[in-house]
Chain A
Amino acid sequence: MLAEYGKEARILAGGTDLLPLMRDRALTPKYIIEITRVPGLDYIDVSNGQSGIKIGALVTLGSVELSEIIKNRFPLIPEAAHLMATRQVRNMATIAGNICRASPSADMVPPLLVLQAEIKIANNRGTRVVPCGEFFTGPGTTILNGSEMVTEIRIPELPLGCGTSFLRATRTQSDLAQVNAASVVMIKDGICEEVRIALGGVAPTAIRLRKAEEALKGKRIEGEALENAAELAAGEIRPISDVRATAEYRMELSKVLVKHVLETSVGRAERRQR
């Protein structure tokens, strides 16, 4: 159907983004393709054993909040989902919808980036799988052409003893984040073996903080190393001023959130290892 109606159609799942946009006449699609009754898109697939998880496009934020399996193996996802919007919205909104809307402050994106998730895309000729980091092309834009849709999000298994954390700064609960941050750390004997940090709301798309990550590897994530990482993070982002926050405030928030998610991740990694 997407191939046929292509650019004049929009996909409807939760509708928590599409309907407000239509109401404001920001979007006036000629056709709406509602996928909520398409079988085989609402699943959390753990059949790969300890080798990762596959989340279908219709899985809601509410479902991942409550999923015991996801809470045990990928706590970062329900942690982020729980902080998003409101209960009512979470019962309707999908993870896939959050990433397809590709807001620079989308709350699911930093977690998926640091988890090195992959996005499965389908069109009428077949499917392809794309690393999350390559999915976003700019504010509100993705690599999807008009006749494709996301069908699945794949998350590879996290090594044992990882710690993760997500934080968002916002004016009110229903509002978009001003800045959000996610991190994964792997600690061995107190030393950082591997670290991934992502920030949203501070660049055209959410981004990994490669320089900050490099600087932390092989070190203890604390004190001067932590301060230094926050400063490096500030150098990697390009926040803008908008109705939610000034660029300066976003810069400060970024440094604080980077430090906090790292500290929390390290604490959780250490607790998991006991």
Chain B
Amino acid sequence: MKREINLVVNKRTYPLTVELNRTLLEVLRDTLDLTGTKFGCGAGKCGACTVLIDGKPMLSCLMLAVSAEGKAITTIEGLSDGDKLHPLQEAFVEHGSIQCGYCIPGMIMNASAFLAENPEPTEEEVRKAISGNLCRCTGYVKPVEAIMAVAEQMRKKS
């Protein structure tokens, strides 16, 4: 059974006809070709599918696409400004925080919202904040360093 909906993704409105039982993750990747958001577990445990819904990190694999109508959806593609990377993206590159890369979009989306809420976190708070983004490669060392570095950058600017 299908429904016509409008999805607002990265400030752009997409009129779509979707099956009621499709997840937001499926529609983002397969219909909208926004493949930055990843399918990791499909069960809400790994965080690879993390997107921002009205600025809050949520799991797109656990949302029906039809439920996301009327919300402002931000994916990793929406974080960069054209070719200009978001400070978190730059920091992850600089600090060597990316190995296979699969967990990274979700982790960066989560971290971006976290830093907006808590601009002066301790390392413990950062680790706790990204506990919903599982990484099999890095052991979290460099990602945490990168997030702390961006927090420091933000603190210096203000």
CB distance from A257 to the nearest CB of B (A): 20
Given A19-B23, A23-B43, decide whether A85 and B132 contact each other with a Cβ distance below 8 A. Answer: yes
Whether the Cβ atoms of A34 and B67 lie closer than 8 Å is yes
The interface residues of chain A lying within 8 Å CB-to-CB of B131 are: 86-87, 173-174
Whether the Cβ atoms of B59 and A92 lie closer than 8 Å is yes
Interface string of B45-86 (1 = CB under 8 A from A): 101001001001111011110110000000000000000000
A36 within 8 Å of B (CB atoms): yes
CB distance from A63 to the nearest CB of B (A): 10
Q: Is the interface of A mostly helix, strand, loop or mixed?
A: mixed
Given A20-B44, A174-B132, decide whether A88 and B50 contact each other with a Cβ distance below 8 A. Answer: yes
The interface residues of chain B lying within 8 Å CB-to-CB of A14 are: 62
Q: Complex formed: what's the CA distance from A99 to B45 in Å?
A: 20
Instruction: Number of A interface residues at 8 Å Cβ cutoff, please give it.
Output: 21
Whether the Cβ atoms of A20 and B56 lie closer than 8 Å is no
The interface residues of chain B lying within 8 Å CB-to-CB of A24 are: 43
Q: Complex formed: what's the CA distance from A23 to B43 in Å?
A: 8
Q: Is the interface of B mostly helix, strand, loop or mixed?
A: mixed
Given A34-B67, A85-B132, A86-B47, decide whether A16 and B56 contact each other with a Cβ distance below 8 A. Answer: no
Whether the Cβ atoms of A15 and B64 lie closer than 8 Å is yes
Given A62-B56, A87-B57, A88-B57, decide whether A36 and B67 contact each other with a Cβ distance below 8 A. Answer: yes
Whether the Cβ atoms of A88 and B110 lie closer than 8 Å is yes
Cross-chain contact of A91 among B20, B58, B66, B67 (Cβ < 8 A) = B58
> In A8-35, which residues have CB < 8 Å from any B CB?
12, 14-16, 19-20, 23-24, 32, 34
Given A12-B67, A87-B132, A91-B56, decide whether A20 and B62 contact each other with a Cβ distance below 8 A. Answer: yes
Q: Complex formed: what's the CA distance from A62 to B57 in Å?
A: 11
The interface residues of chain B lying within 8 Å CB-to-CB of A86 are: 47, 131-132
> In A216-261, which residues have CB < 8 Å from any B CB?
none
Whether the Cβ atoms of A19 and B44 lie closer than 8 Å is yes
B115 within 8 Å of A (CB atoms): no
A41 within 8 Å of B (CB atoms): no
CB distance from B92 to the nearest CB of A (A): 18
The interface residues of chain B lying within 8 Å CB-to-CB of A34 are: 64, 66-67
The interface residues of chain B lying within 8 Å CB-to-CB of A173 are: 131-132
Q: Complex formed: what's the CA distance from A245 to B36 in Å?
A: 37
B129 within 8 Å of A (CB atoms): yes
Q: Complex formed: what's the CA distance from A19 to B26 in Å?
A: 14
* Most central of B43, B44, B59, B110 by chain A CB within 10 Å: B44
B102 within 8 Å of A (CB atoms): no
Cross-chain contact of B47 among A12, A15, A32, A88 (Cβ < 8 A) = A88
Q: Complex formed: what's the CA distance from A221 to B67 in Å?
A: 49
A70 within 8 Å of B (CB atoms): no
7 contacts between A and B (CB under 8 A): A16-B44, A23-B43, A87-B110, A88-B47, A88-B110, A92-B58, A174-B132
Interface residues in chain A, defined as those with a beta carbon under 8 Å from any beta carbon in chain B: 12, 14-16, 19-20, 23-24, 32, 34, 36, 62, 85-89, 91-92, 173-174
In the A-B complex, the 3 residue pairs with the smallest Cβ-Cβ separation, listed nearest first, are A86-B132, A173-B131, A91-B56
